[in-house]
Structure 1
C-alpha cells in the first residue's frame, strides 16, 4: 500500500510539473509572437474651427480600431496597419441644442520604434499616416435620447464628406495581462489637408488609447 501511495504521489508531481511546463511554454510563445491582431479604443479631445461662429470650440469623442501588427523578425523597428472610425461631438453654444457630430473613417499605418524590449515593461515611439473620409452631421441634442431616439435620428442633417490626410504620433507602453499583450498609448493627430468648404474643420487632437492583442 505504501508503495502504491508513493507511486501516486510521484505521478501527481509529474502531472504538476507538466502543467507548469505547458503554462511556461504558452507564456513564452506569447512573448515571442511576431505578428499580432489587435483591437483598440480611445478617448479623443481637440478643437474644431466653426466657421458660422468664427471661433474654435472643444470637441470630444471616441475611436475604435482594428489592426494587424507586422514584426516578422521580432525586431526593434516594425509596422502596423489598421482601419478605424472616429466620432466627435461639439455644441454650438451653451444656450443652444444644435450640435455637430463628426465621423472620420478610413485606413492607416504606423512605424514603430521600440527602445525597451522587456516583455512586461516595453516602451515604443510611433508615427504614421491615416487616410480617411470626414463627414459632419448636424442635429438638435435631446435630453432623453432613449425616448426621443427616432425624432433625433430624423433630425440628422448630413453635410458633405471631405478627404483628410492625418499625421499621427505618440508613445506606447506595453505589458502582459492574462497571457495577452496590452498597450496603453498617448499621442496626437494633426490634420494635414484642409476642409475649406466645410462649416467645421479640425486641426489637431490628443488621444489616450487602450489596445488588446489576440
Structure 2
C-alpha cells in the first residue's frame, strides 16, 4: 500500500509539470519453437501477450521511459494425436528506455531497449484429447513444473 501511494504522488507531481505521460495497454500474438529433449524434436509454440503500462515523459522530450507489467501465454502440442500438451505462462514487470525518432500528431516512431524481470511456469497435460469429454480427469492430470525466474533484455521499434 505504501508503494501505491508513492506511485500516485509521483504521477500527480508529473502532471503538475505538464508532463506528456500516458497509460497504455497492448496485446500481441507470439510464435516460437520448443525443443522437447525426450522426443528429440522441435515443435511450434503459439500464444498471446497482454501488457499494461505507463509512459513517463516529464519534459515532453525525445528521450523518455515506460514501465509495465505483463503476462504471456504459450501452448504447444507435442504429439500429432494431441495427447501431450504444454502450457507456458510468463509474467513479470519491465521497463524500457525510449528514444523518439519522429514526433508528430499523425505518426510517432521510437526505438526502445529495456529489461524485463519475469517468471516462467510450465504446465504439462497428457490427456488433452479428453479435456472436453472428461474435464475432471484431464484437469487432475495437470503437472506443474518449477517456476524459473529470468532477466530478459529486449529492443525494438514502436510505431503509433
TM-score normalised by structure 1 residue count: 0.60
Query: Residue 143 and residue 170 in structure 1: after superposition, are their counterparts in 2 closer, same or farther (change >3 A)?
Result: same
Q: Give the unaligned 5+ runs of structure 1.
A: 1-14, 173-214
Q: Give the unaligned 5+ runs of structure 2.
A: none
Query: Residue 60 and residue 22 in structure 1: after superposition, are their counterparts in 2 closer, same or farther (change >3 A)?
Result: closer
| Contact 1:31/1:119 (<8 A) preserved | no
| Greater relative CO (CA pairs within 8 A, separation 6+) | 1
Q: Give the distance between the partners of 2:142 and 2:4, measured in 1 at CA.
A: 61
Q: Give the distance between the partners of 1:152 and 1:68, measured in 2 at CA.
A: 39
- How much does 1:66 deviate? 1.3
- How much does 1:140 deviate? 3.5
Q: Deviations over 1:147-206 (max 9, x none)?
A: 64444322211011111121222211xxxxxxxxxxxxxxxxxxxxxxxxxxxxxxxxxx
Query: Residue 77 and residue 22 in structure 1: after superposition, are their counterparts in 2 closer, same or farther (change >3 A)?
Result: closer
Secondary structure of the corresponding residue to residue 146 of structure 2 = strand
- How much does 1:142 deviate? 3.8
- How much does 1:131 deviate? 0.8
Query: Residue 159 and residue 37 in structure 1: after superposition, are their counterparts in 2 closer, same or farther (change >3 A)?
Result: same
Query: Residue 49 and residue 25 in structure 1: after superposition, are their counterparts in 2 closer, same or farther (change >3 A)?
Result: closer
Q: Give the distance between the partners of 2:23 and 2:92, measured in 1 at CA.
A: 18
Query: Residue 27 and residue 79 in structure 1: after superposition, are their counterparts in 2 closer, same or farther (change >3 A)?
Result: closer
Count of residue pairs the alignment pairs up: 158
- How much does 1:93 deviate? 2.4
Query: Residue 127 and residue 74 in structure 1: after superposition, are their counterparts in 2 closer, same or farther (change >3 A)?
Result: same
Once structures 1 and 2 are overlaid, which stretch shifts more, 70-79 or 161-170?
161-170
Secondary structure of the corresponding residue to residue 60 of structure 1 = strand
Q: Give the distance between the partners of 1:73 and 1:97, measured in 2 at CA.
A: 55
Are positions 1:83 and 2:61 aligned together?
A: no
Query: Residue 158 and residue 59 in structure 1: after superposition, are their counterparts in 2 closer, same or farther (change >3 A)?
Result: same
Q: Give the distance between the partners of 2:3 and 2:108, measured in 1 at CA.
A: 30
- Structure whose alpha-carbon radius of gyration is higher: 1
Once structures 1 and 2 are overlaid, which stretch shifts more, 59-68 or 133-142?
133-142
Query: Residue 83 and residue 75 in structure 1: after superposition, are their counterparts in 2 closer, same or farther (change >3 A)?
Result: same
Query: Residue 52 and residue 30 in structure 1: after superposition, are their counterparts in 2 closer, same or farther (change >3 A)?
Result: farther
TM-score normalised by structure 2 residue count: 0.79
- How much does 1:70 deviate? 0.7
| Contact 1:128/1:168 (<8 A) preserved | yes
| Contact 1:142/1:148 (<8 A) preserved | no
